[in-house]
Structure 1
Amino acid sequence: MTVRRPSRAAAALALLTAATLLGGAPTAHATGTQCAFPAEPIEERPWSLQRVRLDQLWEISRGDGVSVAVIDSGVDNRNPQLAEAVAAERGADLTGEDGDQTTDRVGHGTKVAGIIAARGRDDTGFVGLAPGATIIPIRASDTDGEGDVATLTAAIQHAVQAGADIINISQDTDAALSEDSALRQAVDAALAADIVVIASAGNDGADGEQRDTFPAAYDGVLAVAASDRNNERAPFSQSGDFVGIAAPGVDMVSTVPLGGQCVDNGTSFAAPYVAGVAALLRAAEPDWTAPQVVAHLQQTAERAIPGPDPHVGWGVVDPVRALTERPAEPPTEPVPDEAAPAAPAPEVPDLVLGETHAERAERLGTYAVLAGAVLTAVISGIALVGRDRRRRRA
């Protein structure tokens, strides 16, 4: 049973859009349809980091002391931004191919690791979200970026034994897996060890159909969809009720083998974005449990509706809000936002209606009768006065 990395179509899209969306900087980064290793540094700050106040974030946490297992195609620590981030001795190579856990011939795992914990350098605007965290490299996919469920299972087991605080799995399979499968058991063991398990939702969502992918769809795993610059679901991102959160996954800059950076697309790069924020949070709140960390990331995500939807889950992760709005005792499950309180009823004065036609006619009639009576009285008075005058003359 094959475990997939992101589709090559997504990677090709990244190369086609890189020059226009990053100001033409990565012209030396692509040869044909693949990124060349090493690559030239990308000087600009990537869009996915421009929206984050990194200085404010890092005043609270840099992820120090937190270990993130990257189960992928290996992590090349020859990239200067990863040299101090990778704990190769705690990793493992489960492929049986030439090389070891720091060998990455496809560059996928090196990109994933960079988004989490790449150290900053003066020649690039790219840096990992948690530059104080440690990467545990576990090579579980081959030179084609392919793996199998058995190897993925063994990789999760190794991450637990290596003392990982967070596991990032940027791979998936849509094959139906039973609840008692070895992969399910490995995930359960990681959750029981209080590890935050994060997995990409998959890149086959362009057809609009909802489907489960594994291990992302397992209960307890934080499934990550890809969002674009508008905080909407990226067209390729897989939808489903299992999606727990979203993160930037379009035109993602990250480290590549030997040095430099390239651009790529996929939920594979949204997942480590969330893993980076989780590393910051675990360092800031070491007493929080894994379910509390996950629930808080979801609760503080940016969303357009009170609760989750199958496209972006509870919303797009908000690193600054997650670190600055920490409750004393976070819940273990997110809850929908409260509805906005109803506005007070306006004070409306009593409605006064104008007189009807009948009332007006009655009023005018009354005026006419009164006027007639007055006129009659006046005439009578005048007549009496005239009569009195005539009598005096006589």
Structure 2
Amino acid sequence: MKITQTRDIRAANRWEIMHQVLEHSPISRVEICRRTGLNKATVSTIVKEWIDKGLLAETELGKSGGGRKPILLQPLHQAGAAVALEIDISQVQAILTDLSGERVLAREQFPTLGESFPQVYHKVCQALDKLLAEMPPSPYGLVGIGVAVHGVVDLSGMIRFIPRLGWRNIDLRSLLEERYHVPVSLDNDGNLAALAQQNLEQASLGPEGQGSEALPQSLAVVNVGDSISTGLITNGEVFRGFHGFANAIGHHTINLDEPVQCSCGKYGCWEQYCSNGAVIAYANTVLPQPISTLEELITLIRHQDPLARQVMDRFLTYLAVGLTNIIFIFDCQAIAISSELLSALPYYLPEVMRKMVLPITHVEKVVLSRLGKSGAILGAASQAVFQFFQDTAHAMEPGQ
């Protein structure tokens, strides 16, 4: 939408300045001017507004390139708190963070496998109530809730389908907003992990906006766990598709001859070969003694068990097939993978890359995400915090 009104421009500038502080603090006013292209007067005026709101503070002096040392700015993370939820196939975890969206103040977790939505929702509310009871006093209190869902979420934030749980058309966002009276953002775990990865990449850039490598313009983050999802970032924005389902890549077909039906109703989905449960199920058709966890398989692989290594090779092969398809479809510049197996056995990552067949295209880098399994829930926390600052930027406008 084209911004045409002065108050919208002011609100957009307020958010852009605070966004720079959130991503790059401690940061000087001069550096904010350089990064945003805004003039010194505008930056100084808006910085004062944020300071007056009790959300920004001046800190120590920065390095000088000649002349007076600049005063650095940083957000007052202790001014409020956010809650983030991650609804996985087998468990729900919830965290309470400060306004950094990263510093975890308290955590709750409980299993969910086989339970109905009303049962899980009741436990979610119990967990959130416990977290809020531990929330330290602050001027703004709870500012928002972010939710990461391992399932199909549409553009409105409605949970359309979680195949393994059988949940359909659930408006969890409205339920939480009605109960806790704060804004709630809800998205697929892949999208939120991708946003968290992008924030991590952005934060790693140097003071001049350049690190050892430039920020990827096209990034795919692949979450491999009880389910498989992918977040796609193009030019800084999440690619969602027409309905918002672009991240449901775990259910693209990689084997037309698969006789067993996937939980989504199709046959031969990527998730049937590379999800944690699928790997364990296949391992139990190969190994002489059954296993119930990936940790057991990892131990066998580390001890050079030939059958366990056969299981790992099959996982790597099908993982490479799915990654190759992502690269061909979306022409990704970089891929970050979150996988319990590969995180425990990172020396197998080059084998994945060797198995990827890319005759007419290429990907610049394939890495393991440094966020690991925390990417989605940290992304949810960041979304809640960012939404609070965006809403505040608009509410600061006179008459709103």
Q: TM-score, with normalisation over the residues of structure 1? A: 0.25
Q: Which has the larger radius of gyration?
A: 1
Structure with greater strand percent: 2
Structure with greater helix percent: 2
Higher relative contact order (CA 8 A, sep 6+): 1
